[in-house]
Each structure stands twice: as C-alpha cells, then as structure tokens.
Structure 1
Amino acid sequence: MATALYETADYPAHPETLSTFEKHLDERWISEALASSGVATLRKRRLPAEQVVWLVLGMALMRDRPIADVVSQLDLALPGKDGTAVVAPSSAAQARQRVGPEPLERLFRRTAEAWAHGRARSQAWRGLAVYGVDGSTLRVADSDDNREHFGLASGGNRGDSGYPLVRLVTLMALRSHLVASAHFGPFSMSEHELCELWNDIPDESVTLIDRNFLAAYVLNQLHDAEKNRHWLTRAKSTTKWEVEESFGRFDKLVRLKVSKVARQKDPTLPKMLLVRAISYRHPDSKGRQWLLTSLTDTKAYPAKELVELYHERWEIELGYDEIKTHLLDSEIILRSRTTDGVEQELWGVLITYNLIRLEMDCIADEADVAPSRVSFVMAMRYIRDEWSWCAVASPGSIPKKLKRMRQKIARFILPARRTKRRHPRAVKVKMSNYAKKRRPNQKKQATK
C-alpha cells in the first residue's frame, strides 16, 4: 500500500493530458449551450454556471454521494473569502435552479450530433448507419411537483405506482450504444406521442424499430428512398398484406394497406405501402417470424443478413440496462424533487452515459475489437476514478500514470458473446407479500 502511494505521488503532471470528460467535451460547447439558453455566468458566484454543468454530470457519475459531496469531491466551487471551497447543500441546489434544464438539453443535442452520428457512420452495415428506437421509464422522487407533472402509473385493483414515472424515448446508434436523440415527458404520454425524433435520423441509414411503432405514419416518415433512409421491424401477428412479387419461398415484396382512419389523420399517406417481407425461424419461438422492411433490393440487402441485423435491435435494451442498472447503480429513482430538476438531471445522465460510451469506443479502437466487447462497468469505474484524481491535481492536468491506464486495455475487454445461450424469462426473487406503502396510507397513520 505504501509503495503504491509513493508511486502515485511520484508521477508528475502532464499539462497536455486532460481528463477523459474534458478531452471529449469541448468547453466551447458548454459556453454556447449556456449563452443560447440565456444563462449568464457570474464569476463572483461560488458555483458559476459552467461548474454547475460539471456538477450535474458528476451527479450522474457519483450516485452514491450527496450533491454537496460531489461539489467537494470534484473541487467545483470557487474559494470563498476565507479561502475554503466548501459550499452548503442549499447553495448547490440554488445554483442548479439558476441554470435550469435548457442548457443541459442543448449540450446533449450538440454532443450527440457530434459523437453518435459519426460513430454510426464508421460502424455501418452495407453502407448504412444502424440506429434503434425504443422507449423506457424511470422513477423519480415522490414529491408533489413530480406527481403533478409526471403522474403515476395505474395498477388497477393493486393501486397506483409508488413513485411518479418519466417516459423516455431514445434514438440510439446501436453498434456504439451512443444516444443520438432523446425525448421524455409525463408517464401518461405514449411512446408515439413522445417520438418526435424521426427527423433526427440521418440519411444513409437503417433504423430498427419495435413492433409498437409499426404504423403507416411512422413508416412513411422513416422511409426516404432518395436519401437512402430505411427501416426494419418485425410484423405483428395481426399484420395482413398482399403479395406483389415473390423473390423466394420466404422472401416477398408485399403491399400493406393503409387504413382510412390513418389517411384521414394524415392525408399525405398513400393507400398502400410497398415493403419487403422476410420469414425466418427463431429457436425460442413457435412457428416462423416475419420481418418487414423498406430495403427491397434483394441483391444489395440479402435476406439472411437482414435477419441477423434485426437482432441487433436488442442492443438498445442493453443500453437502457447500462443506464439504469450500472450508471444509476440500480437506484433508478432520480434524486431531483422538482420538474426542472428532473429534466436537468436526466439530460446530465444521458450526456454522462454518452461520454462513457465514447471512451469505450476509443478503447475498442485501440484493442481492435467491437465496442460490445468492452466492459461498461470497467470503463465507468475508470472514468469515475480518473475524474476524482484529476480534481486534486493542478487544473487541466492529470498524472502520467492515468494516461497509461487506458493503455492497459486488456482488463477492459470481455470474452466474445455466446450467441447460442438460451434463457427463458423468469425471476430469481419472489415479490414481497407485504402491503404496498403509499403516501395516503402514511398520512392516515400519522393522524392516528
């Protein structure tokens, strides 16, 4: 232990080497996000606006620490008149309120555009960047403000949910897990209502979507033949079509009829959608499954490869697992008790997640493996440790030893995925038989 301490202390600072976060996140982007949101930064404050942005990112990375402790750990506060850099918890809360959620949203969109799309293009499938769209939910602190804005999930006879819920829909670059776009809102809003990100999908791409989005107005927005923008999904059991042309027994060109109701809502919709239907058999399912896609060129896009590509749709589920289970440390209750605070915190979580995934891509490039072979947990710990150590070093510098941490990439690399594993859906722990604890019950008990 003593040897390790002496060794660490003995490494000189390297002024050209920035921390991982600072290396990827351009300070100008932060300044532009604050300026375009009308947030002025005053250097006389203990926590200027730029430092508050770093605080929100630190909150996502250090879930086990109180907010005031994050400020101290990352050395974010400017020294006071007495020379100390300690701030009260109320000061951190007030600083977050001054900044609000808009600068963090703008910063997310600016960074996502720079990071996610570039990586998706470099990891293309047959010249097409691969994206996925899906939704999820997150629990937030049980405050009156959050209940009123985000709402509770109804459990019927079992009662409402114990916490307010945020509904989230994201566009993800599937091969890097970088989040390219996101929209969220109250739980009562459907994924279709929240899904305003179709226009964020670039040209020369294919987007893998859940069957929930199998609707004419969605497919019509996704497909643009001139811009080579396409979609791929699995058919519902109730989906009907007419065969236009047969390319083989399990590969056909079909016509999907657009309902009158859909065309009344959107007069620009055609009466028919011409799509390709591909059938395959999955070991875990009964009977054959059908895929539908706008990729109708059988030579350019072979059916077998499309079946393999479709199963990359699961990558977005793995991305949500990385956010909820590992980054949020399974404490999937966001800590903010106000609506603006929740939105600010969630944008910070998405930026932080992207920063980790971006560093994982760099590690994968150095190791010459796919990003899916890099351990998210190891990368997250590396960045968390590095940032903490950078905070006690001279500004803008870190020890040379930290630079060599990423060079020891062997410990980040996971074994190749075992694609033949089969696990039925089941739970290991039975739910509790205790009655649900709800706020109205607590109030009744308090009055007795």
Structure 2
Amino acid sequence: MDVRPDQVSVGVLVTSVPRDAIDGAVARCGVGAKRSDGKLPPHVTAYLTMGLWLFPEDDYTEVAAKVTGSLDRFGCWDASWTAPTSGGISQARQRLGRDTLAEVFEQVVEPVGSMLTRGAMLRSWRVLAIDGFEVDVPDTKANAAEFGYAGSGDNRSAYPKARVVALTECGTHAFLAAQVGAWATGEKTLAMPLYSRLRRGELLTADRNFYSWQAWDRACATGADLLWRAPTGLGLPVVTVLADGTYLTVLVNPSVRGARRERILAAARAAELGDCDDAVDERGLPVAHLARVVEYDVPDRDGNGSGELIALLSTVLDPGAARADELAEAYHLRWEHETGNDQLKTHLRGPGKILRSRLPDLVHQEIWAWLLVHYAMSVLITRAAEAADIDPDRISFTRALRLVRRTATGTAAIPPSGLE
C-alpha cells in the first residue's frame, strides 16, 4: 500500500492540519504570542492539544515529550527546547482560547472521499449523515454551569455533558462540520446552523427526530438533496403515485392552514405548485416543497415479533435518478455516523473516559482538537484505501491509530502496509 512514512506519524496531523492554517486561525482569533521567544507559541500549543488525543492515557508533560520530536521534523518545534511543564501547557491552552481550533477546523476540513473511494458515493451524490453524541466532562462548577447534567435528582448524570451534532461523510466517517453545546440544547437546535453547510451534489440522510419544516426548508435552500425518515404522525398527502410505487407528497409550512393549504395541495396535484401564488410568502420564499416518499418494511428489527414501516422523504423526485431500493440502502448508510462516533469515543478517547479540561473554554478547545485528529485519521485511512482499491471500512481504525502512535514516538516496527 502506497503510504509515505511521514503520513503515518504525528505528520498525519501536520499534513492534514498545516501550520499556515493554524497561524491564520491564531491571527483571526487574536491570540498571537506575546513573546517571540516563548516556549509554547500558539501553533505548538495547537499541535500539542491535538497530540493529547493520540495519547489519552498520558499527562501533559509525557505527551509533550512524545510529540515534540516528531514536530521538529516538520519545522514546528525546536528540538533544542526542553519539553514544557504541565502547568505551562495548561496556561498555553488557556491563551490559545476557545475558538482557535474551531476556526482551524473550519479552514482545513473538506470532503475526503472521491469517485475513487469505494462506498463514498450514490451515483453522483456524496452521501452524508447528521447525528449527535454526548461526552462527559470533568465535574467542576464552571463546566456544570456551561454544559449542565443529564437528568435531575437521583437520576442526574455523574458528570456534566456536552452535546455535539455533526455532519459526517458516510463513506469515510470524516466529520465535516459540527456544533458544540450544552446537554440541554436539543439536537434539532444544534443541527440548524449545519444545514447551511450543505452543497449541491450531496445527499444528506437524517433520522426522524431531525425533521421539522424549518429544517427541511433550510436544507433544501442549499441545493443539496435530502433523504430523511419521516416522523411518526406527519401527514403525507398523496399527490402523484409514481411508476415504481413511490409517491410524491407536499410538505407545507405548519403555519399555513385552512383554505390556503387546500389550494396548495390542489396545485400540487395539478402539477402547478411552481405557479401557485399561495405556495410562497410575502418575500417570495416557499411555504411548500414537493417530496418523494419511499416506504418499506423492516421485519422484526427489534426482536419483538413485529415489523416496522419506514417512510423516507427525499428531494430526489425522479425514480430514474435514483431507484427506491437505492434510496433505502443509502438511508441506512447513515449508521456509518455511529462508526465515526465509536472511533472517537472508544478508540481516541477510550471507553468510559471523560475529557481532561476543567474549564469550559478548554472543553470546547479539546472537542475541536478531537474532531481534527479524527479527521486527519480519516484522511490517512481513505487515501490508503484508495491506493489499495478497497473500501475504507476494510482498514482497521485501531491498527491505523496504533501505527500513528508508535511512529510518533519512534517505535513503529511495521510498514505502512500494516494498515490493511
């Protein structure tokens, strides 16, 4: 497998998160070094914060000792300097601030898969998923005030919890955009800013808890295509039955009621929705969208002897553009998001572990570093998979991570082909 040694080391961070991107983020966030001779300038602090995720069992000083030798090879560290103390690293992280690594993430992250990446595409669409996860943070007064606990009273969680909602590229498990908030902030709320990040040529899958008229409308406005499970109880009037057994429905803003709603439905059935004045508001924005409904049964998924009817809503209206079975298969690719979550929580962080940071600003910083390291790993694995013409799922994340860790400390004894 054609993977350069410098890709399989802390170089995996420098390659995917280049120094100039960090320097640009530092400048935009106004957290530049106050002293030109400081031991921990912002770019080094950024790489060390990411390095903490490569060695979650080690303290600050040990991680610094392991990482700085590799950084020296990439011109990001002067090997003549001594490794900083834990207190020095903590203070440097506070100087780096809450938003710098979020800004770095915004600048460097882009879709990883290509037409050469097996499992990344449905026809010409890049398949994405949106979903969320929670993460325990240290139980300090500041963290409790910022993030809150799950539950209350005797059922309150042991630690405060941060909530993260992210867009994921299904074929590569790479996180492409994210929002971080308090546990009490719902997934729907955190998801709303992410819809504007969608692009034409992408197909976003989502579970039924993400649907709302406002969310669907905002996502549609980007030109991306959507494939979402309809929530239970959502009225789906039949507009046209298509040749493949799927049908068109019309999704109408719930604020539109009565006779106006009926006129919109009549226009949709007459294939005249685009000419219906009632289908737009006073600003000319739509209050109704056509959607294609794909229904199918999943037999006894819960093991209770009964099947489950799944109704999918899609902006892909033409059966010739995507068959019903293709859309059903693509919807279930959203479970790849769970694989990405598992890679974060089980392999990078470690099962049952909490984050390190006792201050809310550093929790945010730590989460963005976490996502950056996972992104760098996803790039490495995807490029290796493309070189071998295999699906990235066939490359073990655990083995790739072990190799990165060994090479970072100069102890790797297996070649890049060991990724497979």
TM-score, with length taken from structure 1: 0.78
Name the structure 1 match of 2:230.
235
Name the structure 2 match of 1:258.
253
Name the structure 1 match of 2:132.
135
2:172 and 2:392 in contact (8 A); partners too? yes
> Could you tell me which amino acid in structure 1 is paired with residue 128 of structure 2?
Y
Name the structure 1 match of 2:17.
25
The alpha-carbon deviation at position 228 of structure 1 amounts to 4.4
> Could you tell me which amino acid in structure 2 is paired with residue 278 of structure 1?
V
> Could you tell me which amino acid in structure 2 is paired with residue 256 of structure 1?
L
1:364-387 Cα deviation digits (max 9, x unpaired): 012110111111101111111112
**Percent identity among equivalent residues?**
28
For residue 280 of structure 1, the aligned residue among 272, 281, 296 is 296
Per the alignment, in what secondary structure is the counterpart of residue 61 of structure 1? Answer: coil
Per the alignment, in what secondary structure is the counterpart of residue 233 of structure 1? Answer: strand
> Could you tell me which amino acid in structure 1 is paired with residue 45 of structure 2?
V
The alpha-carbon deviation at position 405 of structure 1 amounts to 1.8
1:90-109 Cα deviation digits (max 9, x unpaired): 11111111111222111111
Per the alignment, in what secondary structure is the counterpart of residue 316 of structure 2? Answer: coil
In the alignment, structure 1 residue 59 sits paired with structure 2 residue 52? yes
1:46 and 1:79 in contact (8 A); partners too? no
* Distance in 2 of aligned mates of 1:199 and 1:270: 17
For residue 35 of structure 1, the aligned residue among 19, 27, 30 is 27
The alpha-carbon deviation at position 127 of structure 1 amounts to 1.1
Q: Which runs of 5+ in 1 are unaligned?
A: 1-12, 391-400, 414-448
Name the structure 2 match of 1:111.
108
In the alignment, structure 1 residue 347 sits paired with structure 2 residue 368? yes
* Distance in 1 of aligned mates of 2:116 and 2:180: 26
1:120 and 1:173 in contact (8 A); partners too? no
1:98-138 Cα deviation digits (max 9, x unpaired): 1112221111111113xx26648963322111111111111
Evaluate the alpha carbon distance shift between residue 388 and residue 248 of structure 1 in structure 2; reply closer, same or farther with a 3 A threshold. same
- Farther off after superposition, 137-146 or 281-290: 281-290
For residue 218 of structure 2, the aligned residue among 211, 214, 221 is 221
* Distance in 2 of aligned mates of 1:379 and 1:261: 53
* Distance in 1 of aligned mates of 2:315 and 2:85: 57
Name the structure 2 match of 1:184.
180
> Could you tell me which amino acid in structure 2 is paired with residue 412 of structure 1?
L
> Could you tell me which amino acid in structure 2 is paired with residue 166 of structure 1?
A
> Could you tell me which amino acid in structure 1 is paired with residue 394 of structure 2?
R
Evaluate the alpha carbon distance shift between residue 412 and residue 65 of structure 1 in structure 2; reply closer, same or farther with a 3 A threshold. same
* Distance in 1 of aligned mates of 2:37 and 2:182: 37
Name the structure 2 match of 1:418.
none
> Could you tell me which amino acid in structure 2 is paired with residue 259 of structure 1?
P
2:316 and 2:322 in contact (8 A); partners too? yes
Q: 1:305-316, aligned counterparts within 5 Å?
A: 305-316=326-337
Name the structure 2 match of 1:73.
66
Per the alignment, in what secondary structure is the counterpart of residue 295 of structure 2? Answer: strand
The alpha-carbon deviation at position 248 of structure 1 amounts to 4.4
1:360-413 Cα deviation digits (max 9, x unpaired): 0011012110111111101111111112229xxxxxxxxxx87x721x2xx433
1:177 and 1:319 in contact (8 A); partners too? yes
Per the alignment, in what secondary structure is the counterpart of residue 142 of structure 1? Answer: coil
* Distance in 1 of aligned mates of 2:115 and 2:339: 17
Q: 1:201-212, aligned counterparts within 5 Å?
A: 201-212=198-209
> Could you tell me which amino acid in structure 2 is paired with residue 378 of structure 1?
R
The alpha-carbon deviation at position 159 of structure 1 amounts to 3.2
The alpha-carbon deviation at position 18 of structure 1 amounts to 8.5
Q: 1:99-178, aligned counterparts within 5 Å?
A: 99-113=96-110, 116=111, 119=114, 123-155=120-152, 158-178=154-174
The alpha-carbon deviation at position 24 of structure 1 amounts to 2.8
> Could you tell me which amino acid in structure 1 is paired with residue 363 of structure 2?
V
TM-score, with length taken from structure 2: 0.82
The alpha-carbon deviation at position 146 of structure 1 amounts to 0.2
* Distance in 2 of aligned mates of 1:165 and 1:238: 31
- Farther off after superposition, 305-314 or 66-75: 66-75
Q: Which runs of 5+ in 2 are unaligned?
A: 262-280, 302-306
Evaluate the alpha carbon distance shift between residue 287 and residue 102 of structure 1 in structure 2; reply closer, same or farther with a 3 A threshold. closer
Matched length: 376
The alpha-carbon deviation at position 43 of structure 1 amounts to 3.7
Evaluate the alpha carbon distance shift between residue 313 and residue 87 of structure 1 in structure 2; reply closer, same or farther with a 3 A threshold. same
Name the structure 1 match of 2:316.
295
Per the alignment, in what secondary structure is the counterpart of residue 52 of structure 2? Answer: helix
Name the structure 2 match of 1:333.
354
The alpha-carbon deviation at position 191 of structure 1 amounts to 1.3
Per the alignment, in what secondary structure is the counterpart of residue 108 of structure 2? Answer: helix
Per the alignment, in what secondary structure is the counterpart of residue 239 of structure 2? Answer: strand
Name the structure 2 match of 1:356.
377
1:137 and 1:165 in contact (8 A); partners too? yes
